[in-house]
Structure 1
Amino acid sequence: MLALASLSGVADAEWARAGAAHADLAVLGGVAIDDESRDAARALVDRGRDEFLPNDPLAFVERQLSALDDAPIRAGMNVRSTTVEPIRDAAACCADHDAVLEINAHCRQDELRAVGCGETLLRDTARLERYVAAASETGATVSVKVRTEVSGVDLPETACRLGEAGADLLHVDAMDSEPLVADVAAATDAAVLANNGVRDRATAWEYLAYGADGVSVGRPSDDPAVLRRVARAVDDWERRRTGGEGALG
């Protein structure tokens, strides 16, 4: 599997359609969906970051997913929230569109951490489990975007608990700890999507060799040349895995 990873303020339906020829999944967002996370997003905008800040975030999620109902790529939506009910509401919207609801336990900006969003959730696993369970109850496919190298967090143990809570996918930003992907993959029955520095065959195959079920492309996700290289690498890996080495070019 090849995914396009969310980029705040950039990853919208138009962006997803532009990459649809190469990828299987496009995760839009991230979108702040409750008052506290929206206040944090406004503070990020004030210091020059791009953020999605529509007047009605759930209506925005609905519009963006509706715009991709006929697209040749599955949609997902990365969301931030300090409370569980908006997660449930966004997940129900995703379920209606056969889209993936991705809970953001990844962002490390001070403004988001201060209100309990992003990587703060990795240190509050019980709350993150509640988010996952609430989203899963709607029938949505549930992903959690996580990162390695968060002090005090045993990521494989967290991955195990999230899988048991109902997560279907763990989207792992490997940072500079690529081998940890193998430990996460071994710890959970959820699928693992690996992210960070995926640009070509070598970088994609490294993660796939560690046991990831797929990879995602972040910042260069609007570069067709990068997407073509990675898509070919993922396809070649799958043929190699299933015994079709002779088909590799």
Structure 2
Amino acid sequence: MFEPRLAAASLSGESDADWAKQAAPHVGCAFLGGIALDSATREAAREMVDRERTEFLPEDPIAFIDEQLTALESADVRAAFNVRSATLEPIAEAAAVCADHDAILEINAHCRQEEMCAAGAGQSLLRDGDRLCEQVATAADAGADVSVKVRTEVEGVDLPALSARLADAGADALHVDAMDSEPVVAEVAEAAPETFLIANNGVRDRATAYEYLEYGADAVSVGRPSDNPTVLRRIREAVDEWFTTGDRLDPEVSPDA
């Protein structure tokens, strides 16, 4: 999926091509976005901006995806785009653009903002597995590698069981925000063993990276500190130790390790 096994995770309204280029020396993948694709999610994004959240709201979101991915063609990093939609057609369009750029299309079933959930996107999709699987299949049919960004601790959602369904629908990767339920990563890894598993939340150093890797994650991702090269450098070193050298040092050697 990508090497090194460290990704920069999307931050709504902040993660663009310039951001990805800054992270590129340290990561194997950069998830741009998220971006709202259809009328319902774009209206939700406008409402979120009105209460001072940051969002990408270009006039043409599909053209924006193409422009951003084109800007990354010379960068030494695999690009991905996190998207939110309540309907299928724009997902197919975005996935086709991602396929043209050998980029990953990531379906956002993660955003928990009330406006986005009310629009039928984001976290609401975790409770509607049929619709989420349909979105995954649509993106896969358009030729893109497909990731699904999910989160733990959503009431009524059996994430391991849903993960197995998503894998069957065509998901190549699962990007799991573990919240405060890190052991669920191991359950997802067991439920969808052939799917590339990216673990997210609180990854800051060797100890936190190793915890997820020990649970069976294939990679880890960094959100808020993704613009901090010092943090990225030390996580990259830890990931390389785990996957490349086999030198799995004691994660408690140093708080800055």
Q: TM-score, normalised by structure 2?
A: 0.94
- Aligned equivalents of 1:244 and 1:79: distance in 2? 37
* Alignment: residue pair count: 246
The answer on 1:17 being equivalent to 2:21 is yes
Instruction: Give the CA deviation at 1:69.
Output: 1.0
Q: Which residue of 2 aligns with 1:39?
A: 43
Q: Could you tell me which of 81, 86, 111 is aligned with 1:82?
A: 86
Instruction: Give the CA deviation at 1:22.
Output: 0.2
Q: Which residue of 2 aligns with 1:28?
A: 32
Q: Which residue of 2 aligns with 1:218?
A: 223
Moved over 2 A (4+): 243-246
- Residues 116-155 of structure 1 correspond to what in structure 2 (within 5 A)? 116-155=120-159
Instruction: Give the CA deviation at 1:46.
Output: 0.1
- Aligned equivalents of 1:222 and 1:244: distance in 2? 27
Q: Which residue of 2 aligns with 1:193?
A: 198
The answer on 1:208 being equivalent to 2:213 is yes
Letter in 2 for 1:198: V
| Aligned partners of 1:239 and 1:245 also within 8 Å | no
The answer on 1:169 being equivalent to 2:173 is yes
The answer on 1:56 being equivalent to 2:56 is no
Please state whether the residue corresponding to 1:90 is helix, strand or coil.
helix
The answer on 1:238 being equivalent to 2:240 is no
Please state whether the residue corresponding to 2:54 is helix, strand or coil.
coil
- Aligned equivalents of 2:242 and 2:160: distance in 1? 25
- Aligned equivalents of 1:209 and 1:139: distance in 2? 32
Letter in 1 for 2:10: S
Instruction: Give the CA deviation at 1:212.
Output: 0.2
- Aligned equivalents of 2:244 and 2:43: distance in 1? 47
Instruction: Give the CA deviation at 1:138.
Output: 1.6
Instruction: Give the CA deviation at 1:139.
Output: 1.5
Q: Could you tell me which of 64, 87, 96 is aligned with 2:100?
A: 96
User: Deviation digits for residues 196-249 of structure 1, max 9, x if unmatched?
Assistant: 000000000000000000000000100000000100010011135xx4569xx9
| Aligned partners of 1:80 and 1:103 also within 8 Å | yes
RMSD over aligned CA atoms reads 1.4
| Aligned partners of 1:208 and 1:214 also within 8 Å | yes
Q: Structure 1: give runs of 5+ residues left out of the alignment.
A: none
- Aligned equivalents of 1:179 and 1:113: distance in 2? 26
Q: Structure 2: give runs of 5+ residues left out of the alignment.
A: 250-256
Q: TM-score, normalised by structure 1?
A: 0.97
Instruction: Give the CA deviation at 1:70.
Output: 1.2
Q: Which residue of 1 aligns with 2:254?
A: none
* Alpha carbons of structure 1 residues 245 and 31: separation in structure 2 relative to 1, 3 Å: closer
